[in-house]
């Protein structure tokens, strides 16, 4: 994983673990501007569907984060990548990269604000 800084590599591990814990379609991990991290998998119930990115952004905001430094999304699909990145950058003071990685942790695509 030489494409990532040491701190971003930690996010890859967290996103993969969140996905694997419940065999979810996607996992995401976020580091806010204070260095706190959040991780989650997507939710896909008949009455509630949330992406992993929606959940980690909501967790960060609800915890008082004022900005996002970086996000890693681990998924098989390439569906909705631009929308997911736009969601991250909709939070004030959030201009960091959004990395999309394979389930093996290999970098697929990076979005920069």
On whether residue 19 sits in a domain, the answer given is yes
On whether residue 51 sits in a domain, the answer given is yes
On whether residue 46 sits in a domain, the answer given is yes
On whether residue 41 sits in a domain, the answer given is yes
Say whether pLDDT at 39 is over 60. yes
pLDDT value for 63: 97
Domain span at residue 15? Answer: 6-111
pLDDT digits (tens, 9 = 90+) for 43-67: 999 999 999 999 999 999 999 999 9
Q: In this structure, what token pair is assigned to residue 18?
A: 């969140």
Predicted confidence band of residue 113 (pLDDT cuts 50, 70, 90): confident
pLDDT value for 1: 41
Domain count, the chain: 1
pLDDT value for 77: 83
CATH code of the domain in which 65 resides: 3.40.140.10
On whether residue 16 sits in a domain, the answer given is yes
Question: Could you tell me which residues are beta bridge partners of residue 105?
Answer: none
Say whether pLDDT at 21 is over 50. yes
On whether residue 84 sits in a domain, the answer given is yes
Average pLDDT, integer, range 19-45: 97
pLDDT value for 2: 47
Q: Are 43 and 66 contacting, i.e. CB atoms less than 8 angstroms apart?
A: no
d(CA 60, CA 87): 13
pTM here is: 0.93
Question: What is the overall mean pLDDT for the chain?
Answer: 94
Neighbouring CB atoms inside 10 A of 77's CB total 9
On whether residue 1 sits in a domain, the answer given is no
Q: Are 59 and 91 contacting, i.e. CB atoms less than 8 angstroms apart?
A: no
Predicted confidence band of residue 80 (pLDDT cuts 50, 70, 90): confident
d(CA 65, CA 91): 9
């Amino acid at each position: 994983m030489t494409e990532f800084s040491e701190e971003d590599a930690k996010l890859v591990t967290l996103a993969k673990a969140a996905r694997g814990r419940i065999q979810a379609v996607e996992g995401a991990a976020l580091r806010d501007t204070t260095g706190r991290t959040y991780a989650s998998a997507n939710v896909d119930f008949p009455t509630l569907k949330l992406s992993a990115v929606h959940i980690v952004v909501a967790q960060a905001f609800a915890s008082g984060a004022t900005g996002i430094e970086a996000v890693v999304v681990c998924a098989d699909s390439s569906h909705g990548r631009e929308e997911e990145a736009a969601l991250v950058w909709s939070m004030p003071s959030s201009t960091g990269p959004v990395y999309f990685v394979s389930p093996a942790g290999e970098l697929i695509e990076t979005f920069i604000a």
